[in-house]
Amino acid sequence: MNRPFPNPGPVLEIAANSLASALAAQEGGAARIELCAALELGGLTPSPAQIALVRESLSIPVHVLVRPRAGDFAYSDEEHRTMLADIAHCAAAGCDGVVVGALTADGDVDVARCRELVAVADGLDLTFPRAIDVCRDPAAALEAAIELGFARVLSSGGAASAPAGSARLRRLVEQAGDRIAVMPGAGIDAGNIAALAAATGAREFHASAKRVLPSRMRFAPADALGMAGGETRSDAAEVRRIVEALRRAAEAA
């Protein structure tokens, strides 16, 4: 079973939506990345080409989000088969881990399907996604993730942002002990990560450190299709600020 401890110190994971974002995360000092597509939808599985390019370009661990569509985490049989195939592809591509999970229609961890996902991911580091934030009983979901062999769960504490959900995150961290890592994510930046670390007791954190770049297009028509502006990308300088703020918080503690 994968276990995250002992940790040499606090860990920052960056949600990277492209090769450029992944390189920025590495340059800024992130410990690893979660590679995904469509951050604006909460993240989806990236393309095989994207996975291959990122894996061959980075020296830090690459975890891949396996999520076939936006919306809830109760998947159809066809979606489940897609996730199994995506995990197998990530393993074959040399990725270090996957972020994956499934729920039942009643809001519990789908243990039967998750066992199949975990089996295909044999040898990969496993993160249970923010599906825990929409479970009817997060404490029971955490125990299920532990039993299934996940190394960590990503959570905002059931709130719109991790700082807003810090009280529940603290309870999950205390419940987890050293059996699994509870990794706060959503709305984390250099200005709030120190307070979040103190409030939750967590040792792993998840952020995107993103900014919107100006469009490269000289021709800019009216935003009739909702396509105005340039790409959203992780920023190396912001990653570095978050890493430094987390380091100072750890030293002060």
Would you say residue 47 lies in a domain?
yes
Phi–psi pair at 212, nearest 5 degrees: -95, 125
pLDDT at position 253 is 79
Would you say residue 222 lies in a domain?
no
Q: Give the domain range for residue 63.
A: 11-209+231-252
In 10 A of CB 99, how many CB atoms? 27
Would you say residue 223 lies in a domain?
no
Would you say residue 219 lies in a domain?
no
Would you say residue 217 lies in a domain?
no
Would you say residue 153 lies in a domain?
yes
Would you say residue 166 lies in a domain?
yes
Which CATH number does the domain housing residue 81 bear?
3.20.20.380
Tell me 97's DSSP state: E
Model pLDDT for residues 76-119, shown as the tens digit of each residue: 999 999 999 999 999 999 999 999 999 999 999 999 999 999 99
Q: Cα(38)–Cα(69) distance, rounded to whole angstroms?
A: 10
Phi–psi pair at 222, nearest 5 degrees: -60, 150
Number of domains in the chain: 1
Residue 55: name the closest of 65, 42, 64 by CA. 64
Would you say residue 218 lies in a domain?
no
Q: Which two tokens stand for residue 112?
A: 């039967």
Q: Cα(102)–Cα(141) distance, rounded to whole angstroms?
A: 11
| Lowest-confidence segment of 40-44, 201-205, 215-219 by average pLDDT | 215-219
Determine the average pLDDT of the residues in 151-180: 98
- Mean pLDDT for the chain overall: 93
Are 202 and 162 in contact, with CB atoms under 8 Å apart? no
Task: Tell me the pTM.
Answer: 0.92
pLDDT band at 5 (very low <50, low <70, confident <90, very high): very low
